[in-house]
Amino acid sequence: MMEDFSIEALRCIVGERGVITDEADLAPFCTDWRGMFKGRARCAVLPRCTAEVAAVVRLCAAARVPIVPHGGNTGLSGGATPDASGEQVILSLSRMSAIRSLDVIGETMEVEAGCILQVAQEAAADAGLLLPITLAAEGSARIGGILSTNAGGTNVLRYGMARGRVLGLEVVTADGSIVSGLRQLRKDNAGYDWKQLFIGTEGTLGIITAAVLQLAPKSRQRVTALLAVPSADEALAVLRLARQAIGETLNAFELMSGPALELVARHVGLTTPLAPAPWYVLLEASSSLPSLRDAVEEMLADVLERGAASDGVIAESEKQERELWHLRESITEAEAREGRSIKHDVSVPIALIPAFLRVADEAVMNAFPLARINAFGHAGDGNIHYNVIIPPDADSQALNRLVHDLVVDHGGSISAEHGIGQYRVDELHRCRSAPELELARRIKLALDPAGLMNPGKVLPQTIVTG
Ligand SMILES: Cc1cc2nc3c(=O)[nH]c(=O)nc-3n(C[C@H](O)[C@H](O)[C@H](O)COP(=O)(O)OP(=O)(O)OC[C@H]3O[C@@H](n4cnc5c(N)ncnc54)[C@H](O)[C@@H]3O)c2cc1C
């Protein structure tokens, strides 16, 4: 039987300050970071502990009120933004931000979902360890959001996606049950690994309340280098040589097009220390062995001698390192200042990056002669941000379809790391096979039969309502 829902009942669970109903205070919860998506909500509720999350979910489930989980609101797919109905409740984990424990021997950390990524990184660093999830939004993104989106970032090449850091998980399921698997085990093959269902599913199957994360040893040496390369093919030749020479030390291998860095120079005022080139590679390696710098220098000399790169520079200080990374991290801001851009966060098998770029550039320029392509990304893991700057009246849906079809043709994914949210629901359904979508439907119905967990995100709501 459906029960009545009241704000008062929510306040009884989370306290007076734990429910936000005032329109002005609610507004930041109802729009995303970029201002692309806007919605309305009954209220935002901010529980203080897992038991309160479970009680809120039970209350909402009994009254059939949908829930939108909310972390740091830095997601780029509108996953944390409610729909326009004004019926949904936003459940923010921001008051659950404790680092519950840190084990220096086992190199693990148990942390609540609302903890800001940077706070968790700093706690690990204070203990002489590394939490190797790194992205430009780390000062705002929260662990629950990071895991729910299976975030990537610049360290994936060495440390994998966020999923790879999770040893244990605590969740509240759609019926309000608490399921705790907060084990610190690297080896645990006892039955289904159910935690994977909640990682990367953007709050559509349940609420993540805490996690045990695998940390890593902190390297004592770090080397950062920028290379000018004549083509994307040569960039992959550099990657191959780097993998052979210093493979296990390579944290990041970022590809940036010449036009991308021209935008940075124009709008942010930062320039590369190298001569203009069609492409650039920014690479970072780290190790505790003192020989790291010699090894990187040797590798760069080899790369230059073979002609895979035309020029290169190694940062001589932390300041220079930051300057090189600043070039890479300023591309998005520069692109935003240039005009309207349509973003494609795609991945293809690494070896196919040059072929994909060639075919996509030609197809986009044929269909949209006024377009300008701004391609850059985490090439070491096959992830390209294939962004296209187009005039305001250009058909963005046609552009999305064109690019995504080519991605699929190259065996790629239409979302490498930003997730589906509400932004790419239709495209996911166009691009994924029927058996894969059917499996997703069965999982959703099994775990959230009433369709109250972040409805309309990742999967169309019709999957539940028929
Ligand atoms: C400048 C900038 C740079 C970025 N760079 C990268 C990058 O390099 N790589 C990358 O992968 N992403 C990147 N992002 C995207 C974003 O930072 C990540 O998606 C991040 O993981 C979102 O975390 P959040 O806490 O802000 O989540 P939110 O935006 O609040 O939520 C994201 C999704 O997770 C769900 N959710 C949140 N918390 C929970 C929970 N506790 N339980 C269940 N569901 C939950 C929400 O409903 C939503 O669907 C970037 C964003 C910005 C603004």
Distance 117 CA to ligand 1 centre (A): 11
Distance 91 CA to ligand 1 centre (A): 15
Q: Which two tokens stand for residue 25?
A: 């205070």
User: Stretch 210-234: mean pLDDT, rounded?
Assistant: 97
* Predicted confidence (pLDDT) at residue 163 exceeds the cutoff of 70: yes
Distance 74 CA to ligand 1 centre (A): 5
Distance 329 CA to ligand 1 centre (A): 17
Distance 29 CA to ligand 1 centre (A): 14
pLDDT per position as a tens digit, 337-395 = 998 999 999 999 999 999 999 999 999 999 999 999 999 999 999 999 999 999 999 99
Nearest CA to ligand 1 atom 21: 146
Q: How buried is residue 127: exposed, middle or buried, by Cβ count under 10 Å (0-12/13-18/19+)?
A: middle
Beta-ladder partners of 269: none
Nearest CA to ligand 1 atom 23: 145
Give the span between the Cα atoms of 324 and 137, in whole angstroms: 18
Distance 311 CA to ligand 1 centre (A): 36
Ligand 1: which of 34, 52, 74, 111 to mutate, most ligand atoms within 8 Å of CB?
Answer: 74
Nearest ligand 1 atom, CA 202: 49
How much of the chain exceeds pLDDT 90, in percent? Answer: 95
Q: Which two tokens stand for residue 395?
A: 């058909």
Whole-Å CA distances, 407 to 264, 369, 396, 425, 432: 26, 20, 16, 16, 12
Q: 60: part of which helix (H) or strand (E)?
A: helix 50-62
User: Stretch 452-466: mean pLDDT, rounded?
Assistant: 86
Q: Which two tokens stand for residue 12?
A: 């009884």
Q: Is 251 helix (H, G, I), strand (E, B) or coil?
A: strand
pLDDT per position as a tens digit, 190-202 = 999 999 999 999 9
Beta-ladder partners of 329: none
Q: Which two tokens stand for residue 57?
A: 């979910």
pLDDT per position as a tens digit, 227-237 = 999 999 999 99
Interior CA angle at 115 toward 48 and 458, to 5°? 90
Q: Is 19 helix (H, G, I), strand (E, B) or coil?
A: strand
pLDDT-based confidence at 466, cuts 50/70/90? low
Ligand 1: which of 32, 77, 111, 148 to mutate, most ligand atoms within 8 Å of CB?
Answer: 148
Distance 19 CA to ligand 1 centre (A): 22
Give the span between the Cα atoms of 280 and 93, in whole angstroms: 39
Which residues touch 432 (CB under 8 Å, ≥6 apart)? none
- Ligand 1 residue neighbourhood (C-beta within 6 Å): 33, 68-76, 79-80, 93, 113, 135-137, 141-142, 144-146, 148-149, 151-153, 202-203, 207-208, 417-418, 421, 454, 457
pLDDT-based confidence at 461, cuts 50/70/90? confident
Sheet holding 206-214, edge to edge: 99-103, 108-112, 206-214, 166-173, 178-181
pLDDT per position as a tens digit, 118-133 = 999 999 999 999 999 9
Which residues touch 22 (CB under 8 Å, ≥6 apart)? none
Give the span between the Cα atoms of 12 and 300, in whole angstroms: 63
Give the span between the Cα atoms of 22 and 44, in whole angstroms: 10
pLDDT per position as a tens digit, 247-271 = 999 999 999 999 999 999 999 999 9
User: Letter for the amino acid at 322?
Assistant: R
pTM for the model stands at 0.96
pLDDT at 306: 96
* Predicted confidence (pLDDT) at residue 28 exceeds the cutoff of 70: yes
Distance 1 CA to ligand 1 centre (A): 35
The answer to whether the CB of 183 falls within 8 A of the CB of 244 is no
Nearest ligand 1 atom, CA 32: 29
Beta-ladder partners of 222: 286
